[in-house]
Amino acid sequence: MSESAARPEWPLFEVFVRGRRGLNHVHVGSLHAADPAMALHNARNLYTRRNEGVSIWVVRSDDITASSPDEKDPFFAPSGDKVYRHPTFYPIPDDVPHM
């Protein structure tokens, strides 16, 4: 279709919503908008029609740097062999209180 060449591309934004005070913002999805202000408005209309949020972040998808999801990715390996970081690594007698 002839429109393809001329059509203005609205960039993709990722949307994060804080469900209520005291909670983190959580990723809920994405949307297209011409600019960040429009992305915020669209995010409100799209992701919080039923009081799902008290605060919204929008971030250009292009601006996100992500780790690789590959199964054999060594990125997360450093935490795999450090069992001593977990409290269960340390045996404590059952009769020691408040531990």
Partner 1 sequence: MTTRTADGGTAAEPDLQRHFDGRVAADQRIEPRDWMPDGYRATLVRQIAQHAHSEIIGMQPEGDWLTRAPSLRRKAILLAKVQDEAGHGLYLYAAAETLGVDRADLTERLISGRQKYSSIFNYPTLTFADVGVIGWLVDGAAICNQVPLCRSSYGPYARAMVRICKEESFHQRQGYELLLRMMAGTPEQRAMVQDATDRWWWPSLMMFGPPDAESPNTQRSMAWRIKRDTNDTLRQRFVDMTVPQAEKLGVTLPDEQLRWNPERGHHDFGEPDWEEFRRVVSGHGPCNAERLRRRRAAHEKGAWVREAAAAYAARGARRPGEVPA
Residues at the contact surface with partner 1, assessed by CB under 8 A? 1, 3-4, 7-10, 12, 29-32, 34-35, 38, 45-46, 49-50, 66, 68-75
Q: Report the alpha-carbon distance of residue 43 to residue 36 in Å, rounded.
A: 10
96 by Cβ neighbours in 10 Å (0-12 / 13-18 / 19+) ranks as exposed
Distance of closest approach, residue 78 Cβ to partner 1, in angstroms = 14
Neighbours of 15 (CB within 10 A): 25
8 versus 93: smaller Cβ distance to partner 1: 8
23 versus 27: smaller Cβ distance to partner 1: 27
